[in-house]
Chains A and B, each alone.
Chain A
Amino acid sequence: MTGHPANGLDDTVHQRVRLGILTIAHEAQRVEFSFLRDNLELTAGNLSQHLGVLENAGLITVEKGYAGKRARTWVSLTKAGQTALADEITQLKLLISRIERAGSAPE
């Protein structure tokens, strides 16, 4: 791996929707499926696919249960998910600063 920050980006996390899922999950103890679906403006099927990718990578846990008679699905961030999100944000910042430095350098 070279020193370019783009090489430090994890495709699983870097995808915009999955980054959004991790971001929302980071802010709360648990987040409900419908909250993610509404705020990320996704269909249920599309969201499920992204959740599957993140769950298989061990970045989130998905719990199914009931609130009264309503079936609910809750998503929470794992330790690995927190680390992956922190790494992604760091790499994004490095990328941005690199772009800005390149943009301000004399030609």
Chain B
Amino acid sequence: VTTEPVLPGDDPRRLLSGARELAQRVRRAQRAPWFPLLVFAAVAFASIPVYRYGGLHLGRCVVTGPGLRACTAYIRRSGAHGIETRVRPYAVAGIIIAAALTGAAVWLLHHPSASGPVGLGALLLLTLGYLAVVLVPVSFGWVTSTPQHQSRLPDA
């Protein structure tokens, strides 16, 4: 294996751009089975008024039942595409959010007058922080500093 002829891709710029393209291809494939998660998000949003005005029991059922099924379907479908998506970051983020919300709820019990603006601010901060963590791609910096020199691996 190690004696095979040198491929054109051994040029460092081509190797880096090829690696970047492969990383993007994997991310595209991972995005394909995201539909169940979108459904889960829609159900979760729709359940907020149900939770608020319809009683705790109904609200929890709406969120947890389809939500769990959607997450399971997402993990299964991404596996069916040949790539297993990392679940741990989402689980850790979920635990952190749950802990933060619990802490906020306990704090608000002792400071009921601050529930309006402080609560909204905390929720906004939490949302922005979560989006920053989820949306900023973790990579080794496949892109070099000079895009004009980037070349792609030849398409088959």
Contacts and interface: CB of A to CB of B under 8 A. Distances in A.
Contacts of A11: 2
Interface in B3-32: 4, 7, 9-10, 12-13, 15-16, 18-19, 22-23, 25-27, 29-30
Interface string A27-39: 1111110110011
Contacts, number: 96
Interface residues of A, number: 38
Contacts of B145: 97
B113 interface: no
B149 A16 contact: no
B116 interface: no
Interface residues of B, number: 37
B106 interface: no
Contacts of B85: 28-29
B88 to A, nearest CB: 8
Interface of B: 1-2, 4, 7, 9-10, 12-13, 15-16, 18-19, 22-23, 25-27, 29-30, 79-88, 140-142, 144-146, 149, 156
